[in-house]
Each structure stands twice: as C-alpha cells, then as structure tokens.
Copies of this chain bind each other. A is one copy, B any other.
Amino acid sequence: MALIHHPVLSKNGEVIASAVTNLDLHDIARTARTYGVKGFFVVTPLEDQQTLVGRILAHWTEGEGARYNPKRGEALALIDVQANFSDVCRAIGDREACRPQVVATSARIAAGTVSYPRLRDMVARGDPYVLAFGTAWGLAEDFIEAADHVLDPIGGQRGYNHLAVRSAAAIVLDRLVGNLKENKPVSVQK
C-alpha cells in the first residue's frame, strides 16, 4: 500500500503536497498488518514531513511507545517513507524481483475501472501490486492516468461519497483480501 501526499488535490482542485496526519499512519498500518500487507509506503516530498514520520516511527518501534504498546510498533514497522512514488515502485521491485502493478483508488466514478471481485482474483495470483490512496481531496488526475488499474469507487447507498482515507483503506483491503469465508455462514442467536 502507498499513502500519497503528493500529487494530490486540494479542496479547490489544485495539485498540492498535503501534510502528514498522525492517525493515518497508525490506522492504516494497523489495517495493513491485520490483512497481511507486506509494506506501507508513506510518500511525501517534503523533508520536514519525512522527518516527522521518522520521529513517530522511532517512538513506537524503539522508544517509549514500543514499551507501552508493542503491538502498535509491530504495525508501524511496516512503514517506509519515500519522497516519490517512483521510488516506491523501485523499492517493491527490488524486494519482489518484479515491478508491481499500480492500482489507483478514487472516489470518482470513471470508465474502465476494475471491480473488487476481479482485482481480488488478480491479486490472489501472487504477482506484486501496490494500492495507492490519496490524502486531502484525492489522487491527482495525472497519477490516476499513469496507473495500471483504477479501482471502482467504494460507493454508498445514498450518494454521500466522503469517506476518510483511513476508512476507505480498511474497506478496500477487506474487500480485496479479507477472508470472508472464515466467517461462519450460520450461527446461534443469543
């Protein structure tokens, strides 16, 4: 997974670099760890933001936080800070001996998007994929255009389409790699 802070859109549709949100790191790392994701890349070109992420990680993986709650450090250890998305793909390529296919996520309805069941089947074959999530008002159009696949929007029942990226990442992972079959089909009512 990759959480993109540039290039993303501002509220007014301009391409910006957004600030890192502490709880994005915690929540998405915990979700990634739960679903067996191999790496969680935090992408920001801003050096002060890279430093901030490094300090948060050090607290939870080595410092006071690691003693207070080791489970949190176990999740945050998945985080790798990168200045840009090309470096993410290169890092995954080095680990996996093959470049990942890039899947962009977007809340906007568009033509040619890939469905959850189809991407679930593709991912299950074992080739490396990287799922990119945009912060702020979402991934910039150029980023989406350059991706190998664009995932269907999560949608909703009443046309409200403003999930937090933390929530969207959880839902997307559950749909793509959640073990729904583990849930018992019928169970006893209390």
Contact = CB atoms under 8 A, between A and B. Distances in A.
Interface residues of A, number: 58
A163 B23 contact: no
Contact of A30 (B36, B162, B177, B184): B162
Given A171-B174, A189-B149, A164 B30 contact: yes
Contacts of A11: 69
Given A115-B184, A147-B190, A187-B118, A177 B160 contact: no
Interface string A23-54: 10011001101111000000000000000000
23 contacts: A11-B69, A23-B166, A26-B164, A30-B164, A34-B154, A34-B162, A35-B156, A72-B162, A115-B184, A117-B183, A118-B186, A118-B187, A147-B190, A148-B189, A148-B190, A149-B189, A150-B190, A154-B174, A155-B179, A155-B183, A166-B170, A168-B170, A171-B171
